[in-house]
Amino acid sequence: MLAKRIIPCLDVKDGKTVKGINFVNFRDAGDPVELGAKYSEDGADELVFLDITASHEGRKTFVDMVKRVAANISIPFTVGGGINELSDVERLLNAGADKVSVNSAAIRNPQLINDIARNFGSQVCVAAIDAKYDDGVWTCYLNGGRIPTERSLFEWAKEAQDRGAGEILFTSMSHDGVKTGYPNDALSTLADILKIPVIASGGAGTKEHFKDAFLIGKADAALAASVFHFGEIKIPELKEYLRNNNIPIR
């Protein structure tokens, strides 16, 4: 078993880190630069920064904020939000991102994944998927969970892989912020049908939830926000717990 990754996520809105429940009712969670620096020091394996209203507001990601976060961390850094074309990717990589996360724009224009992979390498392209479980089907959503699509989670994840995405970041809108555990059945299915790493997102509330995401969900990485932002789970303690449960951690 390859080493599993623990990834804090900064959902940024109006220059502040926020956290909601089921993609709504956001509350302030602190300064992104300070939080990023703290997670880097605490032993997080990577950091994800999502400008959560960029697509909805039809604008680009805040590059100056990305630069400030990147300058204060020493771990791989993924940035998403409002990425529609190759020039957006180039600008964020130049600002200090190691990878970019594409979501709404990639569903609207799947060729974007091919273009990013061809120009910058698959390792740069993370296909982020926001999906909700409706009537027995995992439906993909656009614009920060505001617009349902005709695409289903599993067929779109497979297509994103085939087009050159290096990782899938799957966020369950049904589990987001609820803290009852990750969507392990869906994660396990993704792990079975894909050859690329799957990052679990949405539902972390306890250390056991991370363990289950790795053992039952077969995820390669687990992403969380509020449990880290509000000090409910500390990353060094989480890693120690996982090691004690025979889960290889970096």
Percentage of the chain exceeding pLDDT 90 = 77
Kindly report the pTM of this predicted structure: 0.92
- Which is the catalytic residue, given 11, 45, 176, 220? 11
Burial zone of 32 (CB within 10 Å; 0-12 exposed, 13-18 middle, 19+ buried):
buried
The reported pLDDT for the residue numbered 26 is 58
- Which is the catalytic residue, given 45, 88, 130, 220? 130
pLDDT in tens, 120-170: 999 999 999 999 998 899 999 998 778 999 999 999 999 999 999 999 999
Question: Within 10 A of 250 (CB to CB), how many other CB atoms are there?
Answer: 12
CATH architecture of 5-244: Alpha-Beta Barrel (3.20)
The reported pLDDT for the residue numbered 11 is 86
Burial zone of 63 (CB within 10 Å; 0-12 exposed, 13-18 middle, 19+ buried):
middle
87's CB contacts (< 8 A; 6+ apart) are: none
Catalytic residue list contains 11 = yes
Question: Within 10 A of 62 (CB to CB), how many other CB atoms are there?
Answer: 21
The reported pLDDT for the residue numbered 21 is 61
Q: Alpha-carbon distance 112 to 29, whole Å? A: 32
> What average pLDDT does the segment 24-52 reach?
86
Is the per-residue pLDDT at 23 higher than 60? no
Catalytic residue list contains 130 = yes
Between 48-57, 88-97, 143-152, 157-166, the lowest mean confidence (pLDDT) is in: 48-57
Is the per-residue pLDDT at 241 higher than 70? yes
Between 9-23, 90-104, 188-202, the lowest mean confidence (pLDDT) is in: 9-23
90's CB contacts (< 8 A; 6+ apart) are: none
> Are 48 and 8 a contacting pair, CB within 8 Å?
yes
